[in-house]
Amino acid sequence: MLFLRETYLIAVNSFREAVRDKIPYVVLLSAVALAAFSVMLGEWSVFDREFVVKSVTVSIISLSGLFIAIFAGVGQVQKEIQKKTIHTLLAKPVSRSAFLLGKYIGLLALLALHVILLSLTLFFVLWTVNANITLPVIQACYLVFWELAIVLAFAVLFSTYSSALISSIFSFGIYLIGHLSNQILKEVYFAYRISEDGSFLKEHGQLVYDIARGIHYIFPNLFKFNASMQAAHSIVLEQSYIIWNSIYALGYCGTVLCVAVLLFRNKDFV
């Protein structure tokens, strides 16, 4: 019970501190402006306006949340370390596990609020253009939240043992790899199959493919959380797909946070 109370108090304080920062407001206002711009883009585009608004705005929710997940996730922990306030917190005593988990939950609540607010903005934009708010749109916004939850877990992990700049770069790299690994795996396999005799890929293709497959399975597959096209085409995702992706995200976040806690416990603060 003491652990849960410590985690709850740190989570509440982290959420309040993150809300007071300027970064979420700047990102939120920029995202709302871009969402409004998507309406004009739909007017100019040769594609259907509803298609453009849905696909662009869902992508905006993901990208804007990415910046919050990285900068807030890295900044919250690094700020405590750099200002030496972490010594006061851990001397109360507050367990390091409760500290790190509380930080994560508080920032996760901020991301949930961000996704909800921008989703409501998307619904309002769709209403203004006389478009339907369909189930695929809601599903796409829901999957974006889990995508950001995974990135946030990595941001917290990297911030426990690296500088703010390096942690931000690594976190952004996880986002890129997570979205590109699936396509890279397909491209490597296709190139390997059509490569001519004597070429490097023909001789070492299996090794290259195994490396690409290893990267694909080790790093989070964030591509499966990208449902912007399904939302734009009003394609309803199967309930099992939503459930299993939610379980996948929970498991991945839990694993990453466990590693972060282990590293944080052994960290020596000078």
Structural domain spans, the chain: 2-265
Counting other chains too, the contacts that 180-189 makes at CB distance below 8 Å and 24 or more residues apart are 180/223, 181/212, 181/215, 181/216, 181/219, 181/221, 181/223, 182/216, 182/221, 182/223, 182/224, 183/223, 184/212, 184/215, 184/216, 185/209, 185/212, 185/213, 185/215, 185/216, 188/212
Which two structure tokens, joined as six digits, stand for 180? 């590109």
pLDDT band at 1 (very low <50, low <70, confident <90, very high): low
Q: Per-residue pLDDT tens for 40-81?
A: 655 555 456 677 778 878 888 888 889 888 988 888 777 777
Q: Which residue has the higher pLDDT, 171 or 214?
A: 171
Look at residue 161 in the predicted model and tell me its pLDDT.
Answer: 81
CB-based contacts of 168: which residues, under 8 Å, 6+ apart?
Answer: 70, 71, 74, 155
Residue 152 predicted with pLDDT over 90: yes
Residue 198 predicted with pLDDT over 50: no
pTM of the model: 0.85
Rounded to 5 degrees, what angle do the CA atoms 107, 81, 269 make?
Answer: 130
CA distances from 4 to 11, 85, 101, 137 (A): 10, 21, 10, 35
Least confident of 90-94, 140-144, 189-193, 263-267: 189-193
Mean pLDDT of the chain: 79
